Amino acid sequence: MPRLRQISAPLAKPGCPTSRLFCEKWDRVCRQRCSLVTLLVAISLLSGCRIDMQVQPRENPLSRSDFFADQRSERPPVEGTVARGELREDTYFYTGKVGNNPGDYMPFPVTKEVLERGRERYNIYCAPCHSLLGDGNGFIPSRGFARKPPSYHIPRLQKAPLGYFYDVITNGFGIMSDYASQIPPRDRWNIVAYVRALQLSQNATRADVPTGQAVPSDPPKFRREPGSGATLPIIAPEAQSTTEEPK
Ligand code: HEC
């Protein structure tokens, strides 16, 4: 404590006995001491005045605020704000519509991966009601869902444009709820591509096979029901179905 030693040094000097309280030198020492004490007290008092993080002037989430006219501390984003990665410039990709009407093209090329992903997502999200084949004989309607879904293979839905299916997934249809929050836009399109593939699969003829290419397989013959989204089809043994069909 070098400072204290400095202050106490004059006390020891001859000519200023400690008994004479008001001698000049003592007075000076006293003033020095007083100012030191005042300084220490001021520092200790002021140190209690700083603003810590735990008492900073901020609002707790969802608390009431007197600062804003509507008393909500939670402020809405400024009008026109676009979150990062949320700029939906390609309206067809996000709505499936050209103007007000559903468009009839895919917003990206259809590859094997697109169809495989579509099949996977379809079997998860749609097959429980629409069945693996898309004929509407899914497991959920069989257990008393208010309405049986229509088959995708009826002429009206066969002719429906691709954007229409996208719109049904995005906004729902009748008593079918929408899947906008469960299925992101790209997966919706993947499903749409797969639904179209299902439609082709159920109505294909030998003429659809490119010339020179062998028909990969004869359609399986079902022993009983073709199966639903929840049950696998029971396929009859191979033997009976190998005879060539007349062209
Ligand atoms: C919980 C059962 C359920 C699920 C899951 C479901 N749907 Fe549906 N869907 C229905 C029902 C029921 C209808 C008929 C609604 C009506 O007519 O009110 C329907 C109708 C439709 C239609 C026909 C619209 C029309 O014009 O008739 C399409 C297309 C369709 N769904 C596609 C899908 C796709 C794609 C999925 C998967 C993403 C899906 N659905 C999932 C029950 C379901």
CA distance 130 to 119: 13
Atom of ligand 1 nearest to the CA of 152: 29
Measure 41 CA to ligand 1 centroid, in angstroms: 77
pLDDT score at 184: 96
Instruction: Confirm if 117 and 190 have CB atoms less than 8 A apart.
Output: yes
Which residue's CA is the nearest one to ligand 1's atom 41? 126
The size of the chain, in residues, is: 247
Quickly count: other Cβ atoms within 10 Å of residue 229's Cβ: 21
Distance CA 242, CA 228 (A): 26
Mutate to test the pocket of ligand 1, among 121, 122, 125, 130 (most ligand atoms within 8 A of CB): 130
Residues near ligand 1 (Cβ within 6 A) = 125-126, 128-130, 140, 145, 147, 149-150, 165, 168-169, 173-176, 179, 191, 195
Query: Model confidence over 238-247: pLDDT tens digits?
Result: 654 444 544 4
Rg (CA), the chain: 41
CA 225 to CA 210: how far, in whole Å?
31
Q: 234 alpha carbon to ligand 1 midpoint, in Å?
A: 26
Confidence at residue 31, expressed as pLDDT on a 0 to 100 scale:
75
Contact call for residues 139 and 228 (beta carbons, < 8 A):
yes
* Cα-to-centroid distance, 227 and ligand 1 (Å): 18
| Nearest protein Cα to ligand 1, atom 34 | 126
Question: For residue 12, what pLDDT is reported?
Answer: 45
Ligand 1: centre distance to CA 149 (Å)? 6
Residues of the chain predicted below pLDDT 50: 1-2, 4-12, 16, 240-243, 245-247
Between the CA of 235 and the centroid of ligand 1 the distance, in Å, is 27
Calpha distance 78→133 (Å, rounded): 47
Q: What is the C-alpha separation between 74 and 59, in angstroms, rounded?
A: 9
Q: What is the pLDDT of residues 102-158, one digit of tens each?
A: 999 999 999 999 999 999 999 999 999 999 999 999 999 988 888 999 999 999 999
Q: How far is CA 165 from CA 149, 170, 181, 188, in A?
A: 14, 9, 16, 9
Q: Which of these, 23, 35, 3, 1, lies nearest to 13 by C-alpha position? A: 23
Looking at ligand 1, which atom is closest to the CA of residue 125?
A: 37
Alpha helices in 16-111 (DSSP H): 24-47, 91-95
Structural element, H or E, at residue 32: helix 24-47
Q: Position 52: which residue type?
A: D
Predicted confidence at residue 211, as pLDDT, reads: 82
Please name the residues in contact with 112: beta carbons below 8 A apart, sequence gap of 6 or more.
Answer: none
